[in-house]
């Protein structure tokens, strides 16, 4: 029924989820990636990474497939796919993860609801529910009842409850779709109401939840659909049991073909999460910030208040990196990794990221638990670490595995930690602490402006006393270390445009690293450049580039980490929070104001 092979996989995927788990679906509504029972779990549906044995997919296949249409239901995380056959038959598949407010809390089970409805003719279909266990190594034990199938995975038992004939599901038999069917895949619990009623009510309540959530976003006048889709995507990347925010939902999608730059992004980088929080804050979605701060303060830091750059979503400190032999990789391009050795790296910008993320709690009257003196005292301990480390070598935000230097961006973020602590202290009426942190911030800023600037090169440089460029220098204006009209910043933006830009996209850097020279663009760097162009007054150029970059999103408006310079093909883990943060920030900067348009 299908000719899909690992070699033909693409990142034209959609995401559904509810804050407890997520699933990635391809353009025919096939679930090709879903880790259970949470973002960092065993991928029961893992076809995206080419399991060696058959399976790892949850699909509704139509005989004599012709074409498909797919879209999100407006302003929601509910995905609608229409499959057509060559005989004029058509069917609709609606997929979602239930989410709504119930009894003063959120109902968000590890559950995927799928509704199938004939639209035209008498389409003939086959339903395949084929999870794998142990990272693709084995087929799980399966049992059946009168109206359900059970799959015994390592971390949970899945139950598929349906009003479709169980024999058709058990053996994957083809049959004519002559009525609406409902399939509920979730925990091994008996459904206490009729299947069709539950599925219908769950769909409506989930639609209502997302529409209400998006209704209160403070979106820009222009590019509203793109911003809303990015905001929903970021919301789906927060694991609400703890508040942690993953960098992406996948592991080991290579940054470039056959590059071995295959990393596991299903964890919470303090830096990436801080960007997510700041983007959603600008849209008025402050709950994500409050839940993430709860995550931060629940982390067990070192005896000296040191922070790792990355933790597990369950506060795990050790993320040992292993290769999973049961999966061949995206398009067969292994290795497939579980875990990420970045947890052992020193990355000193983490301190600034946490303080920046926390600052709004002290100034925003909307938050339910505003920052106070006790929270400030905890942040001061992180500020002391930032001060102690601001001129020490680290791996930098690009996580170099083979070298350590004093990275300009890391030092600038240590400045940001001290600068924001000074502002918070004065907000709390602690003038002596404000002066203390202001003096330290001034000292670090002087260091950056002195040694992070190269008179010979005529621009800021990637490491203190160095000579190379990297795209993180574009952020010096965003964090407030320099202004957009500072000639040194303008010169740096112009130099990055000359040296790192190729066509409509940017390298993060061009110097060879541990794996050779980079090959693809790093999507958020392109958005940083767009934002920087606007900051230095080149608004028209920034808007034109932004419009072109938007055309490189996948058909559902989603972005991965990297893109090919030649054809814009998506590479890297997906969907990438960084990329959607960049889109939101650039749109907010560039959009015409509402007051001028309505």
What are 430-465's pLDDT values in tens digits?
999 999 999 999 999 999 999 999 999 999 999 999
Residue 560 in contact with residue 580, Cβ under 8 Å? no
H or E, element range at 141: strand 141-144
Q: Which two tokens stand for residue 157?
A: 């038992």
- Say yes or no: 98 and 53 in one domain: yes
Whole-number Cα distances in Å, 58 to 33, 128, 238, 456, 518: 9, 5, 24, 58, 35
What local confidence, expressed as pLDDT, does residue 66 receive?
97
- Say yes or no: 28 and 79 in one domain: yes
- Say yes or no: 257 and 174 in one domain: no
**What's the farthest any 2 CA atoms get from each other in the chain?**
78
What are the two backbone dihedrals, phi and then psi, of residue 564, each rounded to the nearest 5 degrees? -70, 140
Domain that holds residue 112: 6-208
What local confidence, expressed as pLDDT, does residue 2 receive?
44
Which burial class, exposed, middle or buried, applies to 320 when counting CB atoms under 10 A from its CB (0-12, 13-18, 19+)? exposed
Mean pLDDT of 235-243: 97
Q: Of 165, 184, 208, which residue is a domain's last? A: 208
Please indicate whether residue 476 or residue 146 has the higher confidence score (pLDDT): 476
Q: Which two tokens stand for residue 435?
A: 């002066």
Q: What is the rounded CA–CA span in Å between residue 143 and residue 162?
A: 14
> For 116-138, how does the pLDDT look when each residue is reduced to its tens digit (9 = 90+)?
999 999 999 999 999 999 999 99
**215 in any annotated domain:** no
Q: Which two tokens stand for residue 251?
A: 């592991």
- Say yes or no: 225 and 204 in one domain: no
**1 in any annotated domain:** no
Q: Of 208, 234, 259, which residue is a domain's last? A: 208
Q: Which two tokens stand for residue 137?
A: 């190594």
Q: What is the rounded CA–CA span in Å between residue 386 and residue 414?
A: 5
- Say yes or no: 134 and 244 in one domain: no
- Say yes or no: 200 and 292 in one domain: no
Mean pLDDT of 261-284: 96
- Say yes or no: 95 and 230 in one domain: no
Assess whether pLDDT exceeds 60 at residue 237: yes
Say what angle helices 224-236 and 195-215 make with each other, to 10 degrees. 120
Whole-number Cα distances in Å, 473 to 225, 480, 489, 566, 593: 30, 12, 9, 25, 28
Q: What is the rounded CA–CA span in Å between residue 156 and residue 544?
A: 49
Mean pLDDT of 177-195: 95
- Say yes or no: 503 and 396 in one domain: yes
Determine which of 133-137, 168-172, 387-391 has the lowest per-residue pLDDT on average.
168-172
- Count CB neighbours of 358 within 10 A: 26
> For 502-538, how does the pLDDT look when each residue is reduced to its tens digit (9 = 90+)?
999 999 999 888 788 889 999 999 999 999 999 999 9
Beta strands in 390-538 (DSSP E): 453-454, 459-460, 501-502, 505-506, 521-522
Q: What is the rounded CA–CA span in Å between residue 297 and residue 379?
A: 10
What local confidence, expressed as pLDDT, does residue 235 receive?
98
Residue position matching structure tokens 């073909």:
257
Tally of domains within the chain: 2
Q: What is the rounded CA–CA span in Å between residue 416 and residue 383?
A: 9
**191 in any annotated domain:** yes
What local confidence, expressed as pLDDT, does residue 562 receive?
97
State the pTM of this model: 0.96
- Say yes or no: 183 and 318 in one domain: no
Is 270 in a helix, a strand, or coil? helix
What local confidence, expressed as pLDDT, does residue 594 receive?
85
Kindly give, in sequence order, each residue whose CB lies less than 8 Å from that of residue 141, ignoring residues fewer than 6 positions away.
151, 152
- Say yes or no: 149 and 256 in one domain: no
Assess whether pLDDT exceeds 70 at residue 378: yes
What local confidence, expressed as pLDDT, does residue 5 receive?
53
What are the two backbone dihedrals, phi and then psi, of residue 176, each rounded to the nearest 5 degrees? -80, 130
What local confidence, expressed as pLDDT, does residue 595 receive?
78
**214 in any annotated domain:** no
pLDDT band at 598 (very low <50, low <70, confident <90, very high): low
Whichever domain contains 361, its CATH number is: 1.50.10.10
- Say yes or no: 342 and 313 in one domain: yes
Q: Of 208, 235, 258, which residue is a domain's last? A: 208
Is 225 in a helix, a strand, or coil? helix
**213 in any annotated domain:** no
> For 534-593, how does the pLDDT look when each residue is reduced to its tens digit (9 = 90+)?
999 999 999 999 999 999 999 999 999 999 999 999 999 999 999 999 999 999 999 998
**409 in any annotated domain:** yes
- Say yes or no: 248 and 318 in one domain: yes
Whole-number Cα distances in Å, 78 to 96, 178, 250, 367: 5, 24, 20, 28
What local confidence, expressed as pLDDT, does residue 1 receive?
44
**560 in any annotated domain:** yes
**143 in any annotated domain:** yes
pLDDT band at 4 (very low <50, low <70, confident <90, very high): very low
Assess whether pLDDT exceeds 90 at residue 28: yes
The pLDDT > 70 percentage for the chain reads: 98
């Amino acid at each position: 029924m299908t000719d899909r092979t690992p070699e033909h996989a693409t990142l034209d995927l959609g995401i559904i989820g509810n804050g407890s788990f997520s699933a990635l679906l391809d353009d025919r509504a096939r679930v090709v990636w879903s880790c259970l029972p949470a973002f960092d779990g065993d991928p029961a549906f893992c076809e995206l990474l080419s399991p060696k044995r058959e399976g790892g997919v949850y699909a509704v296949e139509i005989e004599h497939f012709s074409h498909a249409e797919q879209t999100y239901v407006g302003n929601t995380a509910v995905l609608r796919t229409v499959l057509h056959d060559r005989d004029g038959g058509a069917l609709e598949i609606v997929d979602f993860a239930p989410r709504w407010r119930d009894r003063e809390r959120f109902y968000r089970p590890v559950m995927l609801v799928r509704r199938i409805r004939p639209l035209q003719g008498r389409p003939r279909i086959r339903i395949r529910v084929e999870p794998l266990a142990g990272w693709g190594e084995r087929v799980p034990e399966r049992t059946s009842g009168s109206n359900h199938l059970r799959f015994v995975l390592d971390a949970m038992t899945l139950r598929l409850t349906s009003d479709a004939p169980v024999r058709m599901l058990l053996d994957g038999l083809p049959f004519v779709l002559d009525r609406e069917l409902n399939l509920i895949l979730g925990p091994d619990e008996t459904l206490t109401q009729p299947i069709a009623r539950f599925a219908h009510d769950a769909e409506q309540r989930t639609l209502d939840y997302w529409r209400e959530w998006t209704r209160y976003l403070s979106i820009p006048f222009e590019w509203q659909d793109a911003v809303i889709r990015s905001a929903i995507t970021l919301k789906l990347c927060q694991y609400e049991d703890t508040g942690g925010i993953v960098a992406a939902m996948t592991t080991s999608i290579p940054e470039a073909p056959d590059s071995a730059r295959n990393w596991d992004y299903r964890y919470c980088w303090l830096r990436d999460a801080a960007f997510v929080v700041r983007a959603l804050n600008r849209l008025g979605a402050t709950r994500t910030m409050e839940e993430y701060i709860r995550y931060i303060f629940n982390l067990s830091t070192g005896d000296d208040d040191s922070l790792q750059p990355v933790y597990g979503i369950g506060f795990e400190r050790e993320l040992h990196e292993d290769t999973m032999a049961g999966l061949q990789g995206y398009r067969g391009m292994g290795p497939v990794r579980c875990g990420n050795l970045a947890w052992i790296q020193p990355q000193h910008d983490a301190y600034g990221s946490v303080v920046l993320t926390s600052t709004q709690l002290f100034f925003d009257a909307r938050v339910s638990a505003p920052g106070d003196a006790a929270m400030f005292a905890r942040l001061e301990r992180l500020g002391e670490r930032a001060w102690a480390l601001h001129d020490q070598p680290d791996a930098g935000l690009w996580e170099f595995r083979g070298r350590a230097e004093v990275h300009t961006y890391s030092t600038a973020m240590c400045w940001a930690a001290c600068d924001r602590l000074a502002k918070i202290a004065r907000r709390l009426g602690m003038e002596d602490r404000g002066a203390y942190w202001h003096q330290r911030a001034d000292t670090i800023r002087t260091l950056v402006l002195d040694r992070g600037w190269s008179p010979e090169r005529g621009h800021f440089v990637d490491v203190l006393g160095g000579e190379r460029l990297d795209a993180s220098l574009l952020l010096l204006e965003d964090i407030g270390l320099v202004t957009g009209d500072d000639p040194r910043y303008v010169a740096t933006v112009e130099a990055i445009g000359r040296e790192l830009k190729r066509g409509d996209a940017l390298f993060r850097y061009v110097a060879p690293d541990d794996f050779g020279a980079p090959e693809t663009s790093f999507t958020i760097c392109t958005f940083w450049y767009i934002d920087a162009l606007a900051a230095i007054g080149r608004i028209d150029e920034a808007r034109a580039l932004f419009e072109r970059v938007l055309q490189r999103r996948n058909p559902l408006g989603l972005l991965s980490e990297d893109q090919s310079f030649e054809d814009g093909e998506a590479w890297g883990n997906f969907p990438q929070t960084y990329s959607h943060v960049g889109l939101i920030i650039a749109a907010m900067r560039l959009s015409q104001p509402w007051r001028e348009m309505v």
